[in-house]
Amino acid sequence: MAQIFHRSTNALSRITIFGGVFFLAVLIWAADQWTRSSYMTGQDVVLHQPVPFSHDHHTAQLGIDCRYCHTSVEESAFAGIPPTATCMNCHNLIWNESPMLEPVRQSYATNTPIQWQRVHDLPDFVYFNHSIHVAKGVGCESCHGRVDEMPLIYQAETLQMEWCLSCHRDPAPNTRPRDQVVTMGFDPKDHGVDPAQLAEEYNVQSLIYCSVCHR
């Protein structure tokens, strides 16, 4: 029987099949890059805030403890954002003419909270709780990075499931003494502690089953 297609179409179809597979691979790769991009995760993005509050200034330079402002981080799921009154403890006296602080004075005078934009925001189907992490000796730094070096705060990690799991599989290396949870630039060697031993002492578990975070 005569050939219906010329021999050269074999090569052609091979090229198209290969091209199709290649194109699909590129698409999948692009989609993966897209979901990991900071546009999707919010990582490293600095948001515009009503007041340019500097963590660098207030923590590293003035030495204010994180818990002075994020008061509920040890007892509750939420760390908490300080009310304007906390700012006014100092700013009714210091820099009380600064134009940069005008929205703070306005908020205080009119008793309306400052509308801070959320930097970290997990989807509603994920359960997260600060207190357990703090109680088990996980430092703020392990999840939020060097906040003391951020003039304007940003999300240091992806907050994707894989990131949570990478620690949950083996949290021991991220264990530090409970009284060091807010320390920035923590190095176990400076404190003569062994994270693995501490993890044992605090009975740190590896929690990776789905219902831990999806309830």
Q: What is the closest distance, in whole angstroms, from the C-beta atom of residue 23 to ligand HEC in the complex?
A: 25
Taking the C-alpha atoms of residue 82 and residue 70, their distance in angstroms, rounded to an integer, is: 6
Angle at 87 between CA 82 and CA 91, to 5 degrees: 175
Q: What is the closest distance, in whole angstroms, from the C-beta atom of residue 5 to ligand HEC in the complex?
A: 45
Q: What is the closest distance, in whole angstroms, from the C-beta atom of residue 21 to ligand HEC in the complex?
A: 25
Q: What is the closest distance, in whole angstroms, from the C-beta atom of residue 137 to ligand HEC in the complex?
A: 7
Neighbours of 79 (CB within 10 A): 19
Closest CB to ligand HEC among residues 3, 115? 115
Closest CB to ligand HEC among residues 16, 96? 96
Closest CB to ligand HEC among residues 21, 47? 47
Taking the C-alpha atoms of residue 33 and residue 17, their distance in angstroms, rounded to an integer, is: 24
CA 118 remoteness from chain centre? 11
Task: Compute the CA torsion angle 138, 160, 126, 42 (nearest 10 deg).
Answer: 100
Closest CB to ligand HEC among residues 1, 93? 93
* Residues 6 or more apart in contact with residue 210 via CB below 8 angstroms: none
* Residues 6 or more apart in contact with residue 115 via CB below 8 angstroms: 50
Q: What is the closest distance, in whole angstroms, from the C-beta atom of residue 8 to ligand HEC in the complex?
A: 45
Q: What is the closest distance, in whole angstroms, from the C-beta atom of residue 176 to ligand HEC in the complex?
A: 10
Going by C-alpha positions, the residue among 163, 170, 167, 175 that lies closest to residue 199 is 175
Going by C-alpha positions, the residue among 44, 91, 45 that lies closest to residue 64 is 91
Closest CB to ligand HEC among residues 181, 193? 181
Closest CB to ligand HEC among residues 18, 127? 127
